[in-house]
Structure 1
Amino acid sequence: MAKTEPEPMRDQQQDRLLTPQNCVLTLIDYQPEQYSTITSTTRDEIDLNVVALCRLATAYDVPVVLSTVGVDLGVNEGTAQVIKDELPGVEEIDRTGVNAWEDPDFRAAIEASGRKKVVIAGLWTEVCMTFPTLDMLAEGYEVYPVADAVGGISPVSHQRAFERVIAAGAQPITAISFGSELMRNWAREDSDNLRQVMRWYFPERQRLGLDGGGAR
């Protein structure tokens, strides 16, 4: 018998996996000064996957917390324009500290979402992703670092940072796995949200000379 109907939807708030109703996305310190010292990957790879995260979060109404460091101090520039363009209406939360979780406004924004699953990406991997991840895990959050949307000052610093947060309980994902986990079933009415992102994503990967792929 042909299968054309989705399986029954699980509780979207209590689901053990990520759903549009149980997670929040945070993007930390995607600023020129941070990009300039990344060597574990390329800026094209990072931007492709961060833009994909933004588009998926927008399509599935996942709240986004966007943070910068040192802008008010006059030390750094703000979030890269390619990312800000994808998040109209999302205000940047500037900080003085490298650990976003120590900033009260950042903490308040995560807490205000009412969600305990935090999808996180930040530059650098070993600092701006790692420190808040460790703190949030210690405070009972489930944290999902996006491995292909981050970068470190060296391959070893990036790798060791992931080893550290995994040992503490973090659950790494990728940009497209994030979208697949939100969508979950190709027969659902909102599955076109993921299809549209994938139809942009894979040709863009090929255009940039990154690994290719295909969408359903």
Structure 2
Amino acid sequence: MAKSSLLTPDDHALLLIDHQYLQLLALRSHPNETIVNNTTFLAKAARLFEVPTLLTTAFAERQALFEEVQAVFPEQTPIDRTGLNSWDDPRVLDWVRKTGKKKLVMAGLWTEVCLSMPVIDALGDGYEVYIVTDASGGGTSESHERGVQRMVQAGAQPLTTIAYVSELQRDWARPTADGVAKLFAEHGGGFGQGLRWEWQLLDLKEGTR
């Protein structure tokens, strides 16, 4: 049987790049609340599955990381840069090398600049890179799409937040199932609402016994 190329919790590291308020305010490719929700979902899933995760910012004294994302990793001070390309920062490269992972999952704002640059450079350095497109966003829909297209043409593999979380869970018999279900209930849109309704029905059924 051929080796699967699907992600597992222990074979990759996650980089969340510049999920900050100024970038969010200038976002036009997605609704702001969608990016905040999906990035928070992504961060919480990484924490649940114990995936090494790095947070980065640019000019943090002017704008903080999303409060919801920072709250997932309260012990971590994001690497703060002045350069647009986080792959140019020795601290980022040192962190990546120390993880020992050759697969990297990345999301960031904006797609066409601060995500595309490190993704393309990481691919050039021999890493296998996955991009979470719905936890990333651009200044326009076109710039986001062109950024994604450019990264995919360079060799990056695109996926969505729900696809990422589902790929790590893979089997509901795994011990993280309850935690993942709670994340879906909180951040998973229609499926999450369905879970809440099912739990409500189960509670009502229990109450009739």
The TM-score with structure 1 as length reference comes to 0.84
Matched with 2:32 is 43
**3-state DSSP of counterpart to 2:14:** strand
Q: Deviations over 1:176-211 (max 9, x none)?
A: 111111111112222223212112123xx36xxxx9
Matched, 1:87 2:73: yes
Offset at 1:45? 0.3
Structure 2, unaligned runs of 5 or more: 199-209
User: 1:70 aligned to 33, 51, 59, which one?
Assistant: 59
2:184 pairs with one of 195, 198, 211: 198
Q: Whole-Å Cα distance in 2 between the matches of residues 54 and 198 of structure 1?
A: 13
> Pairwise CA RMSD of aligned residues?
2.0
Q: Which residue of 1 aligns with 2:18?
A: 29
For 1:86 and 1:115, locate their aligned partners in 2 and report how far apart those are by CA, in whole Å: 22
Contact 2:28 2:141 in 1 (8 A): yes
- Indicate conservation of the 8 Å contact 1:183/1:194, yes or no: yes
Q: Which moved more, 1:107-116 or 1:46-55?
A: 107-116
SS of structure 2 residue aligned to 1:54? helix
Residue 64 of structure 1 contacts residue 90 of structure 1 at CA under 8 Å; is this kept in 2?
A: no
Quick check: which one's helix share is greater? 2
Alignment-mate amino acid for residue 57 of structure 2: T
Q: Decide whether aligned partners of structure 1 residues 88 and 15 sit closer, same or farther in structure 2, where only a CA change above 3 A counts.
A: farther
| Number of positions where the alignment pairs a residue of Structure 1 with one of Structure 2 | 195
Per the normalisation by structure 2, the TM-score is: 0.87
Q: Deviations over 1:82-119 (max 9, x none)?
A: 21111121221011100000000011111111111111
The alpha-carbon distance between structure 1 residues 49 and 196, as it changes in their structure 2 partners (threshold 3 A), is same
- Structure 1 segments of 4+ aligned residues over 6 angstroms from their partners: none
CA contact (8 A) 1:24 1:118 kept: yes
From 9, 28, 35, the counterpart of 1:20: 9
Q: Distance in 2 between matches of 1:110 and 1:192?
A: 30
Aligned equivalents of 1:59 and 1:146: distance in 2?
Answer: 18
Partner of 2:105: 119
Task: Quote the Cα distance in structure 1 between the aligned partners of 2:192 and 2:74.
Answer: 29
Of 72, 91, 96, which aligns to 1:105?
91
